[in-house]
Structure 1
Amino acid sequence: MCQRFDHLTVVWMTGAGQKKQFAIHDAFAAVKSDGSVITWGDADEGGDSSRVEHRLQEGVVQVVGNGGAFAAVKSDGSVTTWGYADRGGDGSIVEHRLQEGVVQVVGTGGAFAAVRSGGSVITWGDAAGGGDNSRVEHRLQEGVVQVVGTGEAFAAVKSDGSVVTWGDADGGGDSSSVEHRLQEGVVQVVGNGGAFAAVKSDGSVVTWGDADRGGDSSRVEHRLQEGDGVVQVVGNGAAFAAVKSDGSVITWGKFNKGGDSSRVEHRLQEGVVQVVGNRRAFAAVKSDGSVVTWGDAAGGGDSSRVEHRLQQGVITVIS
């Protein structure tokens, strides 16, 4: 997660706890307009970058945090890492492959994946959490256009519309149960705390991973089929919300974290233009400028205190 200001971008670490819970960790990294990086907070989790400080003085274009480390991508395509070694803070095992050509880095709770300009993928960090991609390495040599992480797994979308997964099986690293539906036509993959959802070019949605967190969408599967017009899927810590072309919203996953939107279902039948999720709730912006919320009340699912101010004029919601 990050927030951009006029002269710097602050990145704070989000990862996964022992039970695949999204967790906020105790370190920050600020990217300044001159491409340098400043860190503070828990030293072990990346708040102390003195070991690599000389490499963070200029040229940094992206910083990504996971559950205990940071990775910085520089303008020359190289990557610098720091923080807990076993969570990706030590990239020495793949350092020779991180010297140039990296265009994107993505983190899970304890690992990183780097996409190179040729479409290959490099991983490091906690092996069980996605740091070891040897099982599918032959499929990650070229053609990858997007990598997405859950708490403990990765999914890569290739240029032919197929999807490759690795990492913790229960957290989405094993997609064998839906593999036949992930061979072509995938245009977007979204991850939450323990599951993935893939949107296909025909408007259908395929899910896998932790059933409770949205890996099982059978309850609403009839509304996520071919031709049903899903244009966007958003995940929070334990649920998903799909926006359809008619402006309606479908939800599934943990009921108390936003997977059950029945309380506000009548307001989600049409006109939704944006849905945003945090760890425990969702907020939908409608075309009339109003906002609808659901999920864990204490986590933002209950907006009744400010409801009178959310009736009109809202143009975006940020988490």
Structure 2
Amino acid sequence: MATSSEIYFELVELSGHVVAKGAWNSTLRTDCLYRSARLAKPGRQCRLLQGTREITPFTPLAALDLRLGTCIQVVWLSSSAADRRSRSQAFAAIKADGSVVTWGIAGYGGDSSLVAPLLTGVVQVCGNAAAFAAIRADGSVVTWGNARGGGDSSAVAPLLTGVVQVCESGAAFAAIKADGSVVTWGNASWGGDSSAVAPLLTEGVVQVYGNAAAFAAIKADGSVVTWGNASYGGDSSVVAQLLTEGVVQVCGSGTAFAAIKADGSVVTWGNAFNGGDSSADGSVVTWGNAFHGGDSSAVAPLLTEGVVQVYGNAAAFAAIKADGRVVTWGNPFGGGDSFAVAPLLTEGAVQVCGDASAFAAIKADGSVVTWGNGCGGDSSAVAPLLTEGVVQVCGNSNALAAIKANGSVGVVQVCGSSQAFAAIKADGRVVTWGNAGHGGDSSAVAPLLTEGVVQVCGNDAAFAATKADGSVVTWGNAFNGGDSSAVAPLLTGVVQVCGNATAFAAIKADGRVVTWGNAFGGGDSSAVAPLLTEGAVQVCGNATAFAAIKADGRVVTWGAAGHGGDSSAVAPLLREGIVQVC
């Protein structure tokens, strides 16, 4: 029973499933509701809505309008929206007043002048490679950027009301509305045209997943609707009868989808252009390019029941069953063939992690089994160290690393560049391995990495380690930030380091920013140096540029001008009130 100083709320998904409920002290902020929601799906980001109004994490609970009810809607953001590094060639900044400022390549979202009057009350911005879509507090959507890539939504504008989530493919968008209907726009071949399945998208949709060129929507009744490029999973007609009910999760690889059903069976589909092969038992039907996971016929009898989780990398899938067995399919050189380690995957698997072309399974006894491309799939050289006590596995593009719980090596964090790893040990030491030219060889700075390291940040080819005394140690490709000697006297009192693809930016305790690495990719901030002498609280980067938010809400940018490093065209709009940059 809630007291007068408490407020009772229910956090409910679009499907009607109650994520959390209880009484919260009215003096708290709504970030307590966000924390409760995320406990249900660790690692996933979400939005909370009261009616169609966005609830920000900073809103006092007491400020919520209880006349709208105590049911709070939880909208889960797709993994691509929540986790991806910006792949756009522009930036979009949300200000505290709900306005948006953009810069970068004009044709890819850097110029939003045509829709500027509409960019008010914005609560979320979603971007693909060519355009942006902003959700406003009233549930309307504003788009800009490359018209064919989703920047022009005029054809569906009357339908874009009551929107609670936007998901992207490479060149299109799909919006879920509060009534469970879906609206799509952008490149028709990439999922922007859903007219062929429109009658199925008028109600009941609870989640949409996008890959490079297709979408898959789960409905409240457990059915799945797909559209977009047939070669990427947009055509699921061959398995349509198996997708009419019971689907609880959809997972994608680069060009295929896999759906887990409530009975533990799996349905997969993918590149229909490259032919078809389906099993005859009706439980798992697959077709298309086997090298991308669309053909699971070879393991179909193993996927008829008991599957509890499916993991995908760029070219294959791995499924964990309730009995701890692991089943794999797809490109045999990318992890789809686990025959060599099959006796070790018959029981006890509790988690699977992948890099681009290999998998690693953690078993209940703490051992690890790996397979796939030899870069990450062959762990024979360290096999004796992977027999027990592993609690986490981390992957980069080409390799895998495991953290153990037994304290034998005392690793507490692992960070990756594109081709190397750096591990922080409990005593503050750092150990590195992998491609020497990408940070795998830290021997040149080894004496500086023997103690006191509290954070390691990696970009594509180098690492930067922050020590407890505020100093920074760098190694790896010198051109991309592995050599910080030119700014070494300035790297004191550092509290945070951010990397983009080719450079680093460090924030100091006094709010100053220091940069190094590829000058054209953000390593040279001399042009804006007077603006970076104090007050910086956050730095974010895309591939070749940086944007720093200052305590007064101002934004300072540098790096490749065409990719957002030059924000002079919108400078007056970036002088105050910025709360987020994406």
TM-score using structure 2 length: 0.43
Within a 5 Å distance, the mapping from 1:1-319 to structure 2 comes to 6-11=75-80, 26=212, 36-39=249-252, 41-43=254-256, 48=294, 58=308, 84-87=331-334, 96=344, 99-100=348-349, 105=353, 107=355, 126-128=373-375, 132=379, 134=381, 141=404, 142=407, 143-224=410-491, 228-318=492-582
Distance 2:294 2:213 in 1: 9
Check the 8 A contact 1:76/1:101 in 2, yes or no: no
Unmatched 5+ stretches in structure 1: 16-22
Q: Distance in 2 between matches of 1:124 and 1:265?
A: 48
Change (3 A) 1:69 1:258: farther
Return the letter of the residue paired with 2:489: H
Report the CA distance shift for 1:243/1:140 in structure 2 as closer, same or farther (over 3 A): same
Deviation track 1:147-192 (CA, whole Å, cap 9, x = no partner) reads 2111111222222222222221111111122222222211111110
Change (3 A) 1:241 1:159: same
Q: Deviations over 1:35-54 (max 9, x none)?
A: 72332653478674967987
Task: Please report the TM-score for the alignment, with normalisation by the length of structure 1.
Answer: 0.73
Aligned identity (percent) is 49
Asked if the contact 1:272–1:287 (Cα under 8 Å) also holds between the matched residues in 2, the reply is yes
- When residues 185 and 261 of structure 1 are mapped into structure 2, their CA distance, relative to the original with a 3 A threshold, is same
Q: Which runs of 5+ in 2 are unaligned?
A: 1-43, 48-74, 86-128, 130-169, 171-210, 221-246, 257-288, 386-401
RMSD of the alignment, in Å?
4.5
SS in 2 for 1:151: coil
Q: CA deviation at 1:245?
A: 0.3
Matched residues in 2 for 1:76 and 1:188: separation? Answer: 38
Query: In the alignment, residue 578 of structure 2 is paired with which amino acid?
Result: V
Q: Residue 39 of structure 1 contacts residue 49 of structure 1 at CA under 8 Å; is this kept in 2?
A: no
TM-superposed CA distance for 1:302, in Å, is: 1.5
Deviation at 1:201, TM superposition (A): 0.9
Q: Give the 3 Å change call, closer, same or farther, for CA 314–208 of structure 1 in structure 2.
A: same
Distance 1:4 1:169 in 2: 39
Query: Is contact 1:276–1:284 with CA below 8 Å preserved after alignment?
Result: yes
Higher-Rg structure is 2
Higher relative contact order (CA 8 A, sep 6+): 1
How far, CA to CA, are the matches of 1:208 and 1:47 in structure 2?
A: 38
CA contact (8 A) 2:359 2:371 kept: yes
SS state at 1:247 partner: coil
Q: Residues 40 and 244 of structure 1: is their aligned pair in 2 closer, same or farther, counting only changes over 3 Å?
A: same
- Residues 165 and 105 (structure 1 numbering): CA distance in 2 closer, same or farther, change over 3 Å? farther
Amino acid of the structure 2 residue aligned with 1:245: A
Q: Is the 8 A contact 2:307 2:321 kept in 1?
A: no
User: What is the number of equivalent residue pairs in this alignment?
Assistant: 303
